[in-house]
């Protein structure tokens, strides 16, 4: 099946065998191939080089490539596993795997910790959270006085920073998330269960003889 | 709009569009 497509995948640096990617993730082979359809569409939206750059991810998230956003930048940096400034197909599948409904909760907690630990010190610091709150207010055009922001931070750190050293470590984050499970909602994408029906064209481009469901 | 101050900082942050990856799947 799909022999006429067989050379096109060479245009995708970092392309990995769907069977292998499936064996390392919660995705079936068909789901990995459906994700490739999504990857092709995002990675060709600005520069057709088989890789996703920051502008392309922003465009996919906001339908507007000029809208620079701190959180989209964080997602990009975490998906750019090899820190090459671009996301290849293997990075894309492995990163999305954390968002699969069946992915281990532990992986979701660790990913969310890294998301908020912007400078990678191993702690979520008050200043980082304040920067993110300010970015959110800018993005959503919500208005809050500085003292209100400080009040929210006081309350949050009072609850999360158990040893009150001004920063949240990984174990404090685990406990905080356990008490506030809604914080992990963004870490699960129900869409990933239906990826083969969202991108049915994968069937025509499949390089696998028997498409597993 | 005024942000709901009863939410903790992370609840507020997680409402960002930049963290809403479901938009990747919307054609």
Per-domain boundaries in chain A: 15-98, 104-186
Q: What is the mean pLDDT of chain A?
A: 90
The number of C-beta contacts closer than 8 angstroms across A and B is: 105
Residue B13 has pLDDT above 70, yes or no: yes
pLDDT for res A55: 93
Q: What is the per-residue pLDDT across A93-105, written as a single tens digit (0 to 9) for each?
A: 999 999 999 999 9
Site from B16, B23, B26 to mutate, A interface, most A CB atoms within 10 angstroms: B16
Nearest to A78 by CA among B7, B10, B2, B21: B21
* The CATH number of the domain covering residues in A104-186: 1.10.238.10
Q: How confident is the model at residue A142 (pLDDT cuts 50, 70, 90)?
A: confident
pLDDT for res A213: 46
Q: Chain A contact for B6, CB < 8 A?
A: no
* The CATH number of the domain covering residues in A15-98: 1.10.238.10
Shared fold status for A15-98 and A104-186: yes
Q: Residues A60-71, buried b or exposed e (16+ Cβ, 10 A)?
A: bbbeebeeebbb
Q: Which residue has better confidence, B19 or A199? A: B19
Q: What is the per-residue pLDDT across A65-91, written as a single tens digit (0 to 9) for each?
A: 777 889 999 999 999 999 999 999 999
Residue B3 CB neighbour total at 10 angstroms: 18
Residue A204 has pLDDT above 50, yes or no: yes
- Which residues are paired to A124 by β-bridges? A168
Averaged over B8-26, what is the pLDDT? 91
Q: Chain A contact for B22, CB < 8 A?
A: yes
Q: Which residue has better confidence, A212 or A120? A: A120
Q: How confident is the model at residue B4 (pLDDT cuts 50, 70, 90)?
A: low
CB-nearest to A153 from B2, B9, B16 is B9
Q: How confident is the model at residue A143 (pLDDT cuts 50, 70, 90)?
A: confident
pLDDT for res A200: 84
Q: What is the per-residue pLDDT across A146-200, written as a single tens digit (0 to 9) for each?
A: 999 999 999 999 999 999 999 999 999 999 999 999 999 999 999 999 889 888 8
H/E element holding A168? strand A167-168
Which stretches within chain A are classed as H helix?
18-24, 29-43, 54-62, 70-79, 89-97, 105-116, 126-140, 146-160, 170-179, 195-198, 202-205
């Amino acid at each position: 099946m799909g022999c006429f497509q067989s050379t096109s995948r060479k245009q995708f640096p970092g392309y990995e065998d769907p069977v292998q990617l499936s064996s390392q993730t919660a995705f079936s082979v068909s789901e990995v191939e459906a994700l490739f359809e999504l990857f092709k569409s995002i990675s060709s939206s600005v520069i057709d080089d088989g890789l996703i750059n920051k502008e392309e991810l922003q465009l996919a998230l906001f339908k507007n490539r000029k809208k620079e956003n701190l959180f989209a930048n964080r997602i990009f940096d975490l998906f750019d596993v090899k820190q090459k400034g671009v996301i290849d197909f293997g990075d894309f599948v492995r990163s999305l795997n954390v968002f699969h409904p069946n992915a281990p909760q532990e992986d979701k907690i660790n990913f969310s910790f890294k998301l908020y630990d912007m400078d990678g010190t191993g702690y979520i610091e008050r200043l980082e959270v304040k920067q993110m709150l300010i970015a959110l207010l800018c993005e959503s055009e919500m208005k809050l006085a500085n003292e209100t922001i400080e009040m929210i931070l006081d309350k949050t750190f009072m609850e999360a920073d158990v040893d009150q050293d001004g920063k949240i470590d990984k174990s404090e984050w685990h406990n905080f998330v356990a008490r506030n499970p809604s914080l992990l909602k963004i870490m699960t994408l129900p869409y990933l269960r239906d990826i083969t029906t969202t991108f049915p064209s994968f069937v025509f481009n499949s390089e696998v003889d028997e498409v597993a469901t | 709009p005024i942000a709901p101050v009863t939410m903790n900082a992370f609840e507020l942050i997680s409402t960002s569009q930049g963290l809403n990856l479901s938009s990747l799947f919307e054609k």
